[in-house]
Amino acid sequence: MREISYLEAVREAMTQEMERDPRVFLIGEDIGEYGGAFQVSYGMLEEFGHERILDTPITELGLTGAATGAALIGMRPIAEIMFMDFTTLASEQLVNQAAKLRYMFGGQSTVPMVLRTPAGSGTGAAEHHSQSFENWFVHVPGLKVAMPSTPYDAKGLLISSIRDNNPVVFIEHKLLYKTKGEVPEEPYEIPLGQADIKREGKDLTIIATAIMVKKSQEAAEQLAQEGIDVEIVDPRTLRPLDTETIVNSVKKTGKVLIVHEAVKTGGFGGELAGVIAESEAFGYLEAPILRLAGREVPIPYNRNLERAAVPQVEDIIEKARQLATLKV
C-alpha cells in the first residue's frame, strides 16, 4: 500500500468528501490562496473555487457561527481554526450553539459540522499557539472529539466526522503532519468511538493520544529490550470513548500508564482513570493507575523548556519502568 503523510491524509479526506458531496465546504482563515497555516488545504482552492473554499477575516467566533448556521440549513461545513488556542474565541458558537441545538430542537435539526484544529507543542510557537484543550470539549455533551495519531486514522476518522450528523471537534497534532504511513487511496470510514491497539503486550498498558502514541511506541521498543512488554491503546476518539477496548487491555495486563500532552490537572487522563476505576478492570489492577502529562505551566518559547514541559520518550520509559515494579 502507498505511504502518504498525515497532512496529505487530512487533505485527501476533505477532497474526496467534497467531490462526493456538494454540501461539503471548507471555511477558515488563510485556507485558500495561502493553503492554510500548515498547508493542509494547499491546492484545494484551484480545484473547488471560492464558493467552497471560503477564506474569512480573522474571526474565529464568526466563522464558527457561519459554519453552525450553514449546518443547520443542510450544508456540511468543515471549519478550520488555525491553532487550537483560538478555539477559546470560537467556543461560544461551538459550545453554546452547535453542541446544543439538536437537543434543544428535539432532534428536528442536526448540526453536521467538523471543526478542525492543530494542537500541541514542539514547533517553538510559545504560549499562545501550542496548547492542548481536548478535554475542554470532551466535557461538553453534544460534541464528539476525535484525535488521530496516524495518517490512516486521520483519513478514516475525518471522513466519518464529515459524514456524522453531529458537530465533531477534530484535533490534529502539528508534529504529526509530516509523519508517514500506509493509507488506502479509496475513501473509508473509521467509526467514531472505536479505539485501536497500536501494539500488543502483556506486562502493562499505555493509553496514549496523538503524538504521545508515537512517543509511546518508541518507548515500548526500548522497554522491550529490558524485558518489559508494553501494550499501547489509542482511543482515537475521546468522545464517544471505547471503554470496552480500554477495560479489556487493563484486565489483560493489570497495570496502566496514561500519557497525554495536556496538563494533568483536569486532563483526559483523569477521565480515563475514573473509567478504569469504576469498571471491572479495577479488580485486575496489580498497581496504582499512573498518569504522565504536561507540566502545570504555559508552553515556553525556549526550545529546551518547551521540551521539558511535555512528556518525552525518556519520561515514558522512566514512568513505565516505575510501574513495572509497582505492586498494590
pLDDT of residue 108: 93
Give yes or no for residue 117 having a pLDDT over 90: yes
Share of the chain above pLDDT 90, in %: 98
Exposure of 274 by Cβ count < 10 A (0-12 exposed, 13-18 middle, 19+ buried)?
exposed
- Domain 196-325: which CATH number of 3.40.50.1860, 1.25.40.10, 3.10.450.50, 3.40.50.920: 3.40.50.920
Residue 164 has pLDDT above 70, yes or no: yes
| The pLDDT value given to residue 1 | 86
Residue entry with cell 502514541: 213
Q: What is the mean pLDDT of residues 200-219?
A: 98
Q: Is the pLDDT of residue 136 over 90?
A: yes
- Average confidence (pLDDT) over 131-143: 97
What CATH architecture is 3-182? 3-Layer(aba) Sandwich (3.40)
Mean pLDDT of the chain: 97
Boundaries of CATH 3.40.50.970 in the chain?
A: 3-182
**Three-state secondary structure of the chain:** CCEEEHHHHHHHHHHHHHHHCCCEEEEECCCCCCCCCCCCCCCHHHHHCCCCEEECCCCHHHHHHHHHHHHHCCCEEEEECCCHHHHHHHHHHHHHHHCCHHHHCCCCCCCCCEEEEEECCCCCCCCCCCCCCHHHHHCCCCCEEECCCCHHHHHHHHHHHHHCCCCEEEEEEHHHCCCEEECCCCCCCCCCCCCEEEECCCCEEEEECCHHHHHHHHHHHHHHCCCCCEEEEECCEEECCCHHHHHHHHHHHCCEEEEEEEECCCCHHHHHHHHHHCCHHHHHCCCCCEEEEECCCCCCCCHHHHHHHCCCHHHHHHHHHHHHHCCC
Contacts of 244 (CB under 8 A, 6+ apart): none
CA dist 60 and 221 (Å) reads 41
CA separation for the pair 224, 296 (Å, rounded) = 31
Per-residue pLDDT band for 327 (boundaries 50, 70, 90) equals confident
Per-residue pLDDT, 328: 64
CATH 3.40.50.920 segments of the chain: 196-325
Average pLDDT over residues 137-154: 98
Residue range 249-276: average pLDDT?
A: 98
Q: How many CA atoms lie within 13 A of 124 on its CB side?
A: 3
Nearest Cα residue to 311 out of 248, 240, 263: 263
- When pLDDT is averaged across residues 266-285 and rounded to a whole number, the result is 97
Peptide bond into 167 cis (omega under 30): no
Output the nine-digit C-alpha cell for 303.
526550545
Query: What's the pLDDT band for 276 if we cut at 50, 70, 90?
Result: very high
Q: In what order do the strands lie in the sheet with 24-28?
A: 53-55, 24-28, 76-80, 114-119, 168-173, 144-146, 237-239
Instruction: Pull the grid cell for residue 100.
Output: 446544543
Q: Exposure string (b/e) for 15-47, b if CB count within 10 Å is 16 or more?
A: bbbbeeeebbbbbbbebbeebbbbebbbebbee
Whether pLDDT at 21 is above 80: yes
Please confirm, yes or no, whether 139 is among the known catalytic residues: no
Catalytically annotated residue among 8, 17, 29, 60: 60
Active-site residue identified among 8, 17, 129, 306: 129
pLDDT mean over 102-125: 96
State the average pLDDT over residues 248-256. Answer: 98
**The pLDDT of residue 64 is above 70:** yes
Rounded to two decimals, the pTM is: 0.97
